[in-house]
């Protein structure tokens, strides 16, 4: 079958995050982040791994940018380490010029290669200084003011060259994994036996509001003080799976699937895309545990109109209605998440990690649903997978990553088909440029298109890295029409 066409001006590249690749955690004035602390907790929460050295990108960035050139990438999404810019994190704390100098060099080196920088301001690495000072994201008022100042420094110092900004990456993961189940930094939870602090029933929802308002402040600031002169664009990256009903004959499972997506995506997309309150199903289940927006909050959200919706997508699941009164520690929307449906059918082909199965047909549905519901142009800011068994492979074995090649091809075709559905999708960033620290999974799981030898730090391109440009060239040069219609999304209105 011929590949499905993409817009001729479609933008594509690769993505990384600072703590996962940079290393150099004690160099040139960088302050500690909550991940520095979390990775060194004992007993280990990260399979013994830490980001002290990681991929040593801080010293090897030229080599890594050469890989981008070799792969033909037009764009590169990376994050800035907040504690490298403002070591203690606060709005009255000193700025670290050495940290700014590093990102200056990185941005200039990208532009010299003709590669467009895409900058994420926050990819999970909160400065430990403000976590210690007032609880970090648990203090809604203080954290948004400190984030606003950090964003301002970045706009002022890099905005003459950076024209693409992402405020926050995956606020759902920050809120739930950091403050709900405690799997990620800072590891707060009342249901995780390894956590010593936290309240799963309340803290994720407080943190969620802090992240929403921090995004709003950073976006409003850009719109007011920098957009006219710098002529850039700004958005947020939200993660979320697509959910199908576990029992296709049960109306309650259809409702559960939609409710799960509202708890996953609507929690953040309603306020930041529509300047609206949280979804009604969240209010109904959570009651007063879900913080309220004030009129001044809504005014700020209305002033924070953003240019695009950044979508991080990896997989889909089945949703089964639980049919019981939800626990006060439930953050899923009172559903069971399953990978096989009532008839035993798998949601997709298994990958190299238990939670991810390849589901390109549902990616199409997901893209189309999000575009119809929120009306923002979409950039796919993360998409990728580990191959089955890749964590046990040698370099010579891992570079022949046929599963990943097929995953990319299928998901790019899904983007093209969603464009046929009427979606406005403008770009794609493969996760990730190289194998790196996969947070609490340590260095076992490999999502990279480049094999990283963690002993020697040698980088070796995998087959997928060398084929992505060909995939995009084929799709962006194709102009023929396709006769395939929308898959399960034939209604012209958003499905609420």
Query: Which tokens in the block code for residue 120?
Result: 């994420």
Instruction: Write out the DSSP string of 453-477.
Output: -TTT--EEE-HHHHHHHHHHHHHHS
* Closest of 77, 64, 83 to residue 24, by C-alpha: 83
Q: Which of 22, 148, 203, 382 is catalytic?
A: 382
Total Cβ atoms within 10 A of residue 139: 18
**Is 382 an active-site residue?**
yes
Instruction: Determine phi and psi for 426, rounding to 5 degrees.
Output: -115, -10
Structural element, H or E, at residue 77:
strand 75-79
C-alpha 215: how far from chain center? 14
Tokens 């950073």, residue? 218
CA atoms within 13 A on the CB side of 175: 29
With a CB cutoff of 8 Å and minimum separation 6, the contacts of 425 are 7, 10, 367, 371, 377, 378, 379, 380, 415, 418, 419
Q: How far apart are CA 306 and CA 374, in angstroms?
A: 12
* Closest of 377, 341, 343, 376 to residue 362, by C-alpha: 341
Q: How far apart are CA 86 and CA 381, in angstroms?
A: 26
C-alpha 380: how far from chain center? 9
Query: Which tokens in the block code for residue 418?
Result: 């969603």
Helices 171-179/267-274 angle, 10° precision: 140
β-strands 116-122, 349-350 pairing? unpaired
Structural element, H or E, at residue 103:
helix 97-112
Total Cβ atoms within 10 A of residue 122: 28
β-strands 450-452, 459-461 pairing? antiparallel
Query: Which tokens in the block code for residue 349?
Result: 């082909």
Q: Which of 142, 170, 258, 262 is catalytic?
A: 170
* Closest of 378, 481, 362, 370 to residue 414, by C-alpha: 362
DSSP assigned state of 27: S
Total Cβ atoms within 10 A of residue 108: 12
Query: Is 301:214 a contact under the CB 8 Å cutoff?
Result: no
Query: Which tokens in the block code for residue 440?
Result: 């609490």
Burial class (CB in 10 A: 0-12, 13-18, 19+), 454: middle
**Is 170 an active-site residue?**
yes
Assess whether the previous peptide bond of 487 is cis (omega < 30° from 0): no
Active site residues: 170, 382
């Amino acid at each position: 079958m011929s590949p499905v066409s993409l817009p001729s001006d479609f933008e594509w590249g690769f993505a990384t995050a600072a703590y996962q690749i940079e290393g150099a955690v004690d160099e040139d004035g960088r302050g500690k982040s909550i991940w520095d602390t979390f990775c060194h907790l004992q007993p280990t929460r990260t399979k013994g791994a830490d980001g002290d050295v990681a991929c040593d990108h801080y010293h090897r960035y030229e080599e890594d940018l050469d890989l981008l050139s070799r792969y033909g990438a037009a764009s590169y999404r990376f994050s800035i380490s907040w504690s490298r810019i403002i070591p203690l994190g606060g709005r009255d704390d000193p700025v670290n010029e050495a940290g700014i100098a590093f990102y200056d060099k990185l941005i200039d080196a990208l532009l010299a290669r003709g590669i467009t920088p895409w900058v994420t301001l926050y990819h999970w690495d909160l400065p430990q200084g403000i976590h210690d000072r007032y609880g970090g994201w648990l203090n809604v008022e203080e954290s948004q003011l400190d984030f606003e100042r950090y964003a301002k420094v970045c706009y002022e110092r890099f905005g003459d060259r950076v024209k693409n900004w992402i405020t926050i990456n995956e606020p759902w993961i920050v809120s739930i994994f950091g403050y709900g189940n405690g799997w990620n930094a800072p590891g707060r939870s009342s249901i995780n036996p390894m956590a010593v602090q936290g309240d799963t029933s309340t803290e994720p929802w407080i943190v969620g509001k802090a992240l929403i308002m921090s995004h709003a402040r950073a976006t409003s600031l850009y719109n007011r003080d920098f957009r006219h002169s710098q002529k850039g664009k700004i958005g947020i990256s939200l993660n979320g799976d697509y959910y199908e009903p576990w029992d296709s004959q049960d109306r309650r499972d259809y409702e559960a699937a939609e409710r799960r997506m509202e708890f996953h995506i609507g929690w953040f997309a309603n306020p930041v895309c529509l300047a609206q309150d949280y979804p009604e199903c969240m209010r109904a289940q959570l009651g007063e545990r879900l913080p309220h927006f004030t009129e001044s909050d809504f005014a700020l959200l209305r002033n924070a109109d953003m240019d695009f919706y950044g979508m991080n997508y990896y997989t889909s699941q089945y949703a089964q209605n639980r049919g019981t009164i939800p626990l006060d520690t439930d953050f899923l929307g009172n559903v069971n998440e399953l990978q096989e449906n009532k008839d035993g059918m798998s949601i997709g082909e298994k990958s190299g990690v238990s939670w991810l199965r390849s589901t390109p047909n549902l990616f199409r549905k997901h893209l189309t649903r999000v575009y119809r519901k929120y009306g923002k142009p979409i950039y796919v800011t993360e998409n990728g997978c580990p191959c089955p068994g890749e964590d046990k492979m040698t370099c010579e074995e891992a570079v022949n990553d046929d599963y990943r090649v097929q995953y990319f091809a299928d998901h790019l075709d899904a983007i093209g088909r969603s464009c046929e559905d009427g979606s406005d999708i403008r770009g794609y960033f493969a996760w990730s440029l190289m194998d790196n620290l996969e947070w609490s999974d340590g260095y076992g799981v490999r999502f990279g298109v480049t094999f990283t030898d963690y002993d020697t730090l040698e980088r070796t391109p995998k087959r997928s890295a060398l084929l992505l440009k060909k995939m995009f060239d084929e799709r962006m040069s194709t102009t023929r029409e396709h006769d395939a219609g929308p898959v399960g999304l034939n209604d012209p209105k958003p499905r609420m």
